[in-house]
Amino acid sequence: MTSLSLDTARVSARAARGVGRVVLERPEALNALDIAMVRGIRAALETWREDPGIERIVLEGAGERGFCAGGDVRVLAGAITSGDPEGAGLFFREEYALNATIAEYPKPIVALADGVTMGGGIGLAGHAAVRVVTERSALAMPETRIGFIPDVGGTHLLARAPGRLGEYLALTGATMSAADAIHAGFADLLVPSDRLGAMHEALESRAEPAAGAREVVMLFGEPPEPADLARQRPWIDAAFGADDVPAILHALRERTEPEASAAAALIETLSPAALTVTLASVRAAREKPDLRATLEREYALAMWFAHTQPDMPEGVRARLIDKDGAPRWSPRSLAEVPDGLAEVALSYRPAVPLWT
């Protein structure tokens, strides 16, 4: 089985010297995921699961610009606007199943979040056993910027970030550097990009077969610089611990830090419905026992948005298709968000369950 060679659906998989190497091969789109890519990654992992000749997996993206920019949201938005929300649901089910597979895989998966790693890219890299970033890394869960919610197990990570960083990162979609990602719990080790080739060779070396994947990667790592997020914790924790989004905005406006003012200005441009549900989702994730439980709740919320809310297709239109930067959110303001909207969203039960 170690001779597996797979090139399909913009994913390549190779097995050599005890290492299964999966590469996302869509660099022109920053390796954005479509359903065929999700299936290709999972097929490779399932092939190697019981293979005694494979000791560890490396998951990476082609090109130097990004590991994975997320799911192909244009396709998902198109399914929703064409009256086929269950088409989006099929993608969500398969993507989230892959996220769980990565988290529960019996062999160590080394994920190289080199470059842009956002949304669905976090779902691939963020749940791996060894999560590597480089000086080129830029990580984010930017779903509120297109009128959607953090998913792919993102709220599992956000809920466990120090202090109120989870609320801050979820509501603003702020981008993390390598140091920030390590501080927030989205990554483990910083490896300079010029050492990745040598790291690959070491992972494939049989000179020390007993060495764990993390120990091998650590040989090429270096300490990150102080995280900017750590410096900003005082105002983030003070403001983003407020009870609801309007209260968070009020707290931000009361702060003197320019970053707090910028965060308030940004939040005011985003989908009121997505912000409201996102805040509740991150806080609910703190009560979930594991990733699977969180994925199940995220799936229900994703399907609630797909079936009942217009903001995700509208956000994709305004940000990515027409690029006019003028989304017409519904409701238009936080003041118009119906009472109990988050509770309605959290109680939604999709017709097709995530786990079958």
**Active-site residue numbers?**
71, 120, 143, 151
Sign of the dihedral defined by the CA atoms of residues 319, 322, 327, 329, in that order: negative
70, 63 contact by CB (below 8 A): no
Dist. CA 126–CA 180, nearest whole Å = 14
- Using DSSP's 3-state secondary structure scheme, residue 60 falls into strand
Instruction: Please provide the size of the chain in residues.
Output: 356
Is 68:30 a contact under the CB 8 Å cutoff?
yes
Distance separating alpha carbons of residues 138 and 142, to the nearest angstrom:
12
Distance CA 291, CA 209 (A): 30
Reported as half-sphere exposure (CB side, CA atoms, 13 A), residue 240 has a value of: 30
Closest CA to 48 of 40, 57, 39: 57
Report which DSSP code applies to 23: E
With beta carbons less than 8 A apart as the criterion, state whether 355 and 296 touch.
yes
Is the backbone peptide bond immediately before 331 cis, with ω within 30 degrees of 0?
yes
Give the whole-angstrom CA distance, residue 87 versus residue 184. Answer: 33
